Amino acid sequence: MTPASLVQTVFGRASMLLAGGSMVQALVAFAANLILVRLIAPDGFGRFAVVWAGAGMAFSLLSLRINVLIIRCPAGELDQRRRDAYATAVLAETVLATGATLAWLAISGLESPFEVVLVAAMAVAHWTNQVRAFFERSMPFARLAGIETLSALLAHGSAVALAAAGFGVAALYLREAVLAGTMLAGLALVGGIAWRRPARLLAAEWRAIFREGRGVWLDSVLDGSFQRLVILAAGGLAGLTVTGYLFQAWRLASVPHQFLTPFISRVAGVWFGRTEDARHREAGRRHALMLSAVVLVPAAGLAAAFADPIVPIVFGEAWRPAASLLAILSGLVLFLTLFETDRTYCLSTRRARALMVARLAQYAGFGVAFLSAVLGWVEPGPALAMGLSLAFAAAFLTIEGWLALDRRA
């Protein structure tokens, strides 16, 4: 595959349908959120964010990210036994993570049964997202677009209806359950889920999976844990109300990334994995970065310049403090997708060490701002928002530097 084929793949009919579906999902989520923020108080969103962060930690730590291994496995090596081994590993990690999460909730003290519903939804979503990689290898983006868009419509519509009916913050938990259930059902209807009986794997097979996935696992743990640790840190330092403001500002800042994710993490990711010529892969990576920057630079400028007047008008006066946080998060708007592009490239080309160095830079960038909040130099909300912008800027610049050194070597 050549760099031109990347452009053809990214702008092909199927991938454009996937991107179009993603845009519809982002718009629906945004519209639903406009209603939800007027029906649910900031501390309610903060509580949900903290529970979501804590409950998802076990899935982050215990998942080997089998879906990445499935996607990048050469076709000649993905025989029936290997398929069964991957599917068994997904089932085992899902059961283990679900049990660990329920134990954590029991120890910390359940506030409502809806938290158990959230864990069940996470378990279903985790299993579905991992095993659908067998289906996604063939790049059926048109069917995936339809399923994902319909699932999002039903989930967000249900959340709005439930909140309007007086369910309050419970609507957020039930939204995740509807999303996970409809996604599973939709994939099953189009044959996107392979129902496999668990296989009895030999110790050597388990070791092979662990060896193959350890680089991906470490990066994904650092990736998945980062967002959750930020939310937990916000809850501990600033309380649930400020956490709610940060959670909403972060969601708004991530909207451009939502639009670009189908192109970067999925379409281009499969292209990187299937392209054998190193020079073509590198040229394709540069094309992907340039195409993303065309959208991200103006978006970051708009977030910095117009957050203050727009957020109170759109969300209501109660959410005015989120405006200043969104302006600070303009760095995240710019660098998040650029970093994810390089991350996808490195995962596809087995550059685990480059990712680890970039993750260290990410945590270090956030740590500087976090320390300033702990020491009382900066208010927690603005400090954590600045930390997010610094984190992704540091991660992107670090990984770019590493790849540049690789090319010279």
**DSSP 8-state symbol, 75:** G
Rg from Cα positions in the chain: 21
**Interatomic CA distance for residues 349 and 272, integer angstroms:** 8
Q: 243, 50 in Cβ contact below 8 A?
A: yes
Closest CA to 65 of 215, 180, 188: 215
Q: 45, 246 in Cβ contact below 8 A?
A: no
pLDDT of residue 111: 66
Closest CA to 175 of 67, 55, 259, 52: 52
pLDDT of residue 287: 84
pLDDT of residue 384: 94
Exposure b/e, 163-193, CB count within 10 A at least 16 = b: beeebebbbbbbbbbbbbbbbbebbeeeebb
**Interatomic CA distance for residues 307 and 314, integer angstroms:** 10
Nearby residues of 266 by Cβ (< 8 Å), 6 or more positions away: 18, 136, 141
**Interatomic CA distance for residues 89 and 201, integer angstroms:** 9
**Interatomic CA distance for residues 183 and 28, integer angstroms:** 16
pLDDT of residue 80: 86
Q: What is the pLDDT along the chain (409 residues), one digit of tens a residue?
A: 444 454 444 445 555 666 677 778 878 888 898 899 889 988 888 888 888 888 888 888 888 888 888 887 877 788 888 888 999 999 999 999 999 988 888 887 766 788 899 999 999 999 999 988 888 887 677 788 788 889 999 999 999 999 999 998 999 999 999 999 999 999 999 888 878 888 888 888 888 888 887 777 777 777 777 888 888 888 888 888 888 899 889 988 988 888 788 777 666 766 776 666 778 778 888 888 998 899 999 999 999 998 888 888 878 888 899 999 999 999 999 999 999 999 888 877 778 788 889 999 999 999 999 999 999 899 999 999 999 999 999 999 999 999 888 877 6
DSSP states along 272-318: HHH---HHHHHHHHHHHHHHHHHHHHHHHHHHHHHHHHHHHHHH-GG
SS3 65: coil
CA dihedral 343, 345, 351, 353 (to 10 degrees): -20
Name the one residue in this structure whose structure tokens are 């670090």.
Answer: 398
**Interatomic CA distance for residues 230 and 224, integer angstroms:** 11
**Interatomic CA distance for residues 379 and 259, integer angstroms:** 31
Q: 372, 299 in Cβ contact below 8 A?
A: no
Closest CA to 400 of 363, 351, 350, 331: 351
Nearby residues of 405 by Cβ (< 8 Å), 6 or more positions away: none
Q: 126, 62 in Cβ contact below 8 A?
A: no
pLDDT of residue 219: 73
pLDDT of residue 1: 46
Nearby residues of 177 by Cβ (< 8 Å), 6 or more positions away: 117, 118, 120, 121
pTM for the model = 0.71
